Each structure stands twice: as structure tokens, then as C-alpha cells.
Amino acid sequence: MAGIIDMELGMPRSEADPELERIAHGRPGTPFAQSLPRPAGYGFANYERVFRARAREDAPPPAAAEDGGLDGLVAAMDRAGIRCGLLIGAANAATAAIHARHPGRFLLFVTLDPLDGMRAVREFERLVREEGANGLRLSALFNGVVANDRRYYPLYAKAVELDVPVRIYTSMNYANDRPYDLGHPRYLDDVAVDFPELRIVAGLAGWPWVNETVALLRRHPNLFVDTAAHHPRYFAQPGSGWEQFMQFGNTLLQDKVMVGLSRHLFGVPFEELIAAYRSLPLKEAVIEKWLRGNAERFHRL
């Protein structure tokens, strides 16, 4: 099926800004000016221990110069029938250039610091109106500021005014230098209550609090969810914790689920991940919604 919309495409390493990753994977929040070196394996480095299959010690480092950049990514999307996708890891300043280079292929959600107050709000508006930004992306995983913190509220209000969505990190994290539940779905409830017009996507689907995510999806009309960072082979596996997600995602919540393929995390072709989604025990009409229809409505494409 042509026209798939992928809710999580990774920025090719050859075109990524390594400084953004260094800052995001550093200490949570604002570091002390004279911080001491961190213990080995601490913080984001713990992901390599937890997900050894994704980062084998004997595996050679990725060759950034050979990844094909954004042109290669678009070519791979074309081969797999992917219409467009949410590009993760692009700098705010690159928004207009990426849109000009590949019009209509990428959804670009900018990130802003809630501690910047109205300066962040004004910059958000400029990025949307002048640079073509498609939404706002927030992650307490990086800054330690949970989604219902009132410092985000001016940004949420501006998103409603601009009629653009917000994607909020919603999942457990394995960075063992910060609370594991910074992305708990409970933080979305206050936001959805206070901003009923705001289109929100719970990125990463809230695992392991799947039942609570499902309940909130039923409760709030403008709350959606994407499956990014989770391999589809686990969704239908008994005991994986996804049972209620699959049950309701195939029935009452079939219009709320969007697929995030996260090819950059799994290191396999788009086609393999798409085939895995197609093999899930979902009604044919439902899988078409997951892969394309729901994202078209959510993003108003």
C-alpha cells in the first residue's frame, strides 16, 4: 500500500548535529557548572546494556558517510511506499531547508525549552509561520520537566492557536540517572483536560502503562498514540503487556493508533517492519488506519 505515514524516522547520522545528541543524552535538566565526570554506563549509556541486541559490542560503528543522508532516506521511503514521516533529530534551524529540499516528505516537530518562557513561545510561532514547522515535540526524558508542568502551558496555548499538534514522550525510560516514570501517561491527563482543542500524540504508546494509556485514549477525543520505538513482533506476543492495546486498537480505539516504524533503532528495512505490522491479528481495515488513515486525519494531510 502506497501512502504509509511513519511517525518516527531517524535523522541520518551523516546529516545529524552531534551536539544535539550530546546535550540530549547528558545530565537531565540544567547541569551544575563544575559537575564531576559520570560513572561508566550511567544515564543513557544504560540503554546499551538493556538493549544489547541493538548495540552489540563487536558491531562496527555505523559509517555516517555511507548512510545516504536524507536523499538515501527518501529513496528508501519510496521503495517501501512511505508517503511521509515524522523526522526525529533535526535541528530547529534546519526546518525550512529540509522542507525545501524534500517538500512534503517530512513532518518536522521542533523542540523548545519551557524555561525560556515567552521567548520560546515567540520562536515557536516563528518556526511554524516562517519555517514551516509542523508541530511541537516535548520529552521529559531529556529535560526532566514532565508534560503537565505549567511552564509548558504557554507553548500548548500557542499550539492550539497555530492549530498544530504536540507529540509528548510517553513511556518508561532506561536512563538510570533520572526517574523511570518521567513519561508516565498520567501527565497527559491534565494537559488534555486544560487544552481540549490541542491535538496530542502520546509518542511510544506508554509502555509499560499500556492500560492507563488505553483509558486516557478513550477519555480524551484529541489524544492519539504512536507505536514508535517498539518492534511490532511484540504487540501480539502473550505476556508482553500489549494485550489491552491490541484489543482496543482493533476495536474502540482503531481510529487513534498511528505507526512509528523507528527503522533507525532496529536496523532493518522499512519493508520488514511494515510486513510485521501487516501480520498482526488486526482487521484489514484497521491496519490501513494504523499505517496511514489515522495519521492523515491527525496531521490534516
pLDDT of residue 32: 80
Write the DSSP symbol of residue 222.
T
For helices 210-219 and 186-194, the axis angle rounded to 10 degrees is 10
pLDDT confidence of residue 145: 96
pLDDT at 57 over 80: no
Alpha-carbon dihedral angle through residues 155, 158, 159, 161, given to the nearest 10 degrees: 170
**In order of start, what are the domains of the chain with their CATH numbers?**
4-25+41-299 (3.20.20.140)
Q: Transcribe 238-258 into DSSP letters.
A: TTSS-HHHHHHHTTTTTTTEE
**C-alpha 32, offset from chain centre:** 28
Asked if the model's pLDDT at residue 56 lies above 80, the reply is no
C-alpha 77: how far from chain center: 18
CB 200 within 8 A of CB 223: yes
Q: What is the pLDDT of residues 236-260, one digit of tens each?
A: 999 999 999 999 999 999 999 999 9
Q: What percent of the chain has pLDDT over 90?
A: 87
Q: How many CA atoms lie within 13 A of 223 on its CB side?
A: 26
Cell matching residue 38: 559520570
Task: Give me the pLDDT at residue 31, please.
Answer: 72
Whether residue 226 is predicted with pLDDT greater than 60 in this model: the reply is yes
Indicate the pTM of the whole model: 0.94
Q: Which tens digits make up the pLDDT trace of 141-173?
A: 999 999 999 999 999 999 999 999 999 999 999
Instruction: Report whether the peptide linkage leading into residue 179 is cis, meaning its omega lies within 30 degrees of zero.
Output: no
